[in-house]
Amino acid sequence: MNRTLIVGATSAIAEATARRLAKRGDPLYLVARDQQRLAAVAADVGVRGSPRVGSEALNANHIGEHGRMLERAEQFLGGLDTVLIAYGTLSDQKTCEASVEHTLHELHTNALSVVALLTLVANRLAARGAGTIAVISSVAGDRGRSSNYVYGSAKALVTVFLSGLRQRLHRRGVAVVTIKPGFVDTPMTAAFRKGPLWTKPDRVAAGIVRAIDRKAGVVYLPGFWRPIMLIVRMIPERIFRALEW
Amino acid sequence: MSSRAVSSWGNLVRAEHALFGLRGRSDPFPKIPAGSSVLPFGNGRSYGDSCLNPGGALLETRALDRFIRFDRETGLLASEAGVLLDDILRLAVPAGWFLPVVPGTAYVTVGGAIANDVHGKNHHRAGTFGRHVRELELLRSNGERLKCSRVEHPQWFSATIGGLGLTGVITWAELQLTRIPGPWLAMEVVRFANLEQFFELCDESDREFEYTVAWIDCLARGRRLGRGLLQRANHSEIADRDRRAHVRQLSVPFMSPISLVNAVTLRVFNTLHYHRQWSPRARYTVDLREFFFPLDWVLHWNRLYGPRGFYQYQCVLPGLFARDATAQLLETVALRGQGSFLAVIKRFGSPTSPGMLSFPRAGVTLALDFPNKGASLEHLFRELDEVVSVAGGRLYPAKDARMPGTLFRSGYPRWQEFARYVDPVCSSSFWRRVTEGAHMTEGVYMTEGA
């Protein structure tokens, strides 16, 4: 039994993960912005086998609410074993380029609010000396590309933050898992043309559950993204800057 | 919104559609561009064009895949409309519940099962799927949400069950499941030498077995006309741990370049299949899935028919004329030598179907698959239509890609009543085809409201 808090529970990947956890009987506390969608997801995972499902509507950008939400989650679940942070917005690069405000807002949603939440979660779990923190970052955070570097740089911040956090918490018995999905066919990417590199949310979810169970460090999902991103990172800047992605 | 080429299970046409989707049951009906039309689309297992709307849009419902509640004491299950019957069985069977009616595949959505008012091997006992729907929500293009049941908006309920998605989109439904002792069935396979023997077997089978269905060798002629194998089964009390279902899953990985179903393979298969057991009567214990969904273990089996696709011809022949008409249909098919692997015959029972356009009615239903051979096949269909029409029968829209409008309108006398409930922006290739020409002369049905 793994008492799990999921923040961003209505995202396709998080929902698929919640279903898998529910099926094996994990109690869940689900947090998301949209109250109606959240209620639908909560009812569903209850039917699928989660013995105890709590939920609360929260905009993660309201950083001041994080502490109380964590308190309620821990109280509802009677403790906290795993925290999965899965929310985010796929920033529209063109809009960001034209608007400082929009860029900063996207960075706030995808990076700063995550850092704020992680700081509280980390201290909570560290105090107990056990637990797993899993966060959905992205392959986009491995290197900035012209087509989505605002989103990418936010994810890069999260990735590096997690790397440091992992070292810090390692000695305290808390595992930190960085999840880097590639292209996933979700409502967030509905407007994209899908090719062979695309995968389904449930496949990513299976990988997330496995990574949480193994307390893995950094996982690429599906795994073939690891060598791809290795190559992408190795391309010399002189060549990389001339590419158009 | 995006667009994509979509085909149905029969692979007869592949047409570009604009795509809309619902993500959850609280989502609003999408805005459809003026002059265009839309059709709810579940898992695309209808064979012909009743699930297609070329030139218009489809409203995909597969993302409506959440359960809402499941009462393990009473067997009431509510779910969103895009949940597959397969998903329900995974949840319900281990808890001792089963769907009251299942079609030949578990890969259909709840919404699709309602919209086609599907039937199964227990029609003589349980009637159609729609009879077990307690309640459903219909979302109309004007944003209205109608909770429909036998008591609330009963007319909308009756139009939407078997309504082919034309009354709006079903967002969720509540079903009454049935208790089962476990996942096993005690099955008997009985060989019958001709059609007469089949009908003799029917009375006894329907009385003593919950599920009955027969396969017919549709190439056999003369004294052997209508020979085949009758499968009949009841749920079995056998305990779980004694046996294990063999889980096997094959897939036809790509479209066969030509139809693998042809005169030679057909004769070999039919002869072998008829003689598959030594004794005229054999008993087996089989897993639910093996019995109800024998084809689901081969994913994409429709690809065996090649790129031109295939037709299924399923009719129901009512009452007194059923026997003679069935014989006549089989004779015609055997004579033309255009038989199918999957010639299936079943006697429907007396439970009435709740939908205005529901297909099943008391009588005999016969379903035949044919690889698409173009004009010669249509010629055969016309001959079969004639028999069906004279017998007062009708064809199944979920399987159909070609029935003439006249046959539809004579077979479904409530179609005009139904037409009043069609949503102003909903349409399908099928609906335009079978109503074409009719609305000019009988011009009542496009007007809204009753």
> Which residue of chain B has the CA closest to A185?
B63
Establish if A145 touches chain B: CB-CB under 8 angstroms: no
Task: Using 50 as the pLDDT threshold, list the residues of chain A that sit under it.
Answer: none
Tell if the CB–CB gap between B68 and A44 is shorter than 8 Å. yes
Tell me the per-residue pLDDT of B356-397, one tens digit each, with 9 for 90 and over: 999 999 999 999 999 998 898 999 999 999 999 999 999 999
Query: What is the torsion angle, in degrees rounded to the nearest 10, for the CA atoms of residue B230, residue B231, residue B233 and residue B236?
Result: 140
Give the end of a domain, one of B128, B150, B179. Answer: B179
Q: Do B131 and B267 fall within a single domain?
A: no
Q: Considering only A192-206, B218-232, B235-249, B331-345, which range has the smallest mean pLDDT?
A: B235-249
- The beta-carbon neighbor of B69 closest among A36, A37, A47 is A47
ipTM score of the complex? 0.92
Q: Do B222 and B256 fall within a single domain?
A: yes
Give the end of a domain, one of B11, B38, B60. Answer: B60
Tell if the CB–CB gap between B24 and A36 is shorter than 8 Å. yes
pLDDT value, residue B350: 94
Angle between helices A100-107 and A149-170 (to 10 degrees): 30
Q: Do B323 and B206 fall within a single domain?
A: yes
Tell me which amino acid residue A179 is. I
Check if the beta carbon of residue A45 is closer than 8 Å to that of residue A231: no
Q: What is the DSSP letter of B306?
A: -
Which residues in chain A touch residue B2, judged by CB atoms under 8 angstroms apart? 190-191
Which residues in chain B touch residue A187, judged by CB atoms under 8 angstroms apart? 23, 63
> Which residue of chain A has the CA closest to B172?
A40
Tell if the CB–CB gap between A48 and B67 is shorter than 8 Å. yes
Q: For the residues B436-446, what does the mean pLDDT come to?
A: 57
For residue B199, the distance in angstroms to the closest alpha carbon of chain A comes to: 44
Tell if the CB–CB gap between A40 and B25 is shorter than 8 Å. yes
Q: Considering only B91-95, B388-392, B442-446, which range has the smallest mean pLDDT?
A: B442-446
Establish if B409 touches chain A: CB-CB under 8 angstroms: no
Per CATH, the number for A4-240 is 3.40.50.720
Tell me the per-residue pLDDT of B43-80, one tens digit each, with 9 for 90 and over: 999 999 999 999 999 999 999 999 999 999 999 999 99
Q: Do B260 and B145 fall within a single domain?
A: no
Establish if A195 touches chain B: CB-CB under 8 angstroms: no
Check if the beta carbon of residue A211 is closer than 8 Å to that of residue A134: yes
Mean pLDDT of chain B: 91
Tell if the CB–CB gap between B68 and A40 is shorter than 8 Å. yes
- The beta-carbon neighbor of B26 closest among A40, A48, A190 is A40
Closest by Cα among B237, B231, B239, B248 to B284: B231
Tell if the CB–CB gap between A41 and B66 is shorter than 8 Å. yes
Which residues in chain B touch residue A47, judged by CB atoms under 8 angstroms apart? 67-70, 91
Query: Is residue B450 situated within a structural domain?
Result: no
Query: Is residue B449 situated within a structural domain?
Result: no
Query: Is residue B254 situated within a structural domain?
Result: yes
Q: Which two tokens stand for residue B337?
A: 């030598």
Distance of alpha carbon B21 from alpha carbon B59, whole angstroms: 5
Distance of alpha carbon B77 from alpha carbon B67, whole angstroms: 8
Tell if the CB–CB gap between B69 and A43 is shorter than 8 Å. yes
- Which residues of A have a catalytic role annotated? 151
pLDDT at B132 over 80: yes
Which residues in chain A touch residue B80, judged by CB atoms under 8 angstroms apart? 40
What is the number of domains present in chain B? 4
For residue A78, the distance in angstroms to the closest alpha carbon of chain B comes to: 25
pLDDT value, residue B220: 87
pLDDT value, residue B440: 45
Tell if the CB–CB gap between B66 and A36 is shorter than 8 Å. no
Which residues in chain A touch residue B70, judged by CB atoms under 8 angstroms apart? 47
Q: What percent of chain B has pLDDT over 90?
A: 76
Q: Do B261 and B394 fall within a single domain?
A: yes
CATH number for the domain harbouring residue B89: 3.30.465.10
Check if the beta carbon of residue B112 is closer than 8 Å to that of residue B102: no
Give the end of a domain, one of B139, B154, B179. Answer: B179
Which residues in chain B touch residue A50, judged by CB atoms under 8 angstroms apart? none
Check if the beta carbon of residue A176 is closer than 8 Å to that of residue A133: yes
Tell me the per-residue pLDDT of B98-117, one tens digit each, with 9 for 90 and over: 999 999 999 999 999 999 99
Tell if the CB–CB gap between B2 and A43 is shorter than 8 Å. no
- The beta-carbon neighbor of B70 closest among A37, A47, A187 is A47
Closest by Cα among B153, B81, B152, B67 to B115: B81
Q: Do B213 and B297 fall within a single domain?
A: yes
Residue ranges per structural domain of chain A: 4-240
Top pLDDT among B239 and B86 is at B86
* 3-state SS assignment for residue B329: helix
CATH number for the domain harbouring residue B235: 3.40.462.10
pLDDT value, residue A193: 78
For residue A206, the distance in angstroms to the closest alpha carbon of chain B comes to: 17
Domain extent, residue B158, equals 67-179
Q: Do B246 and B284 fall within a single domain?
A: yes
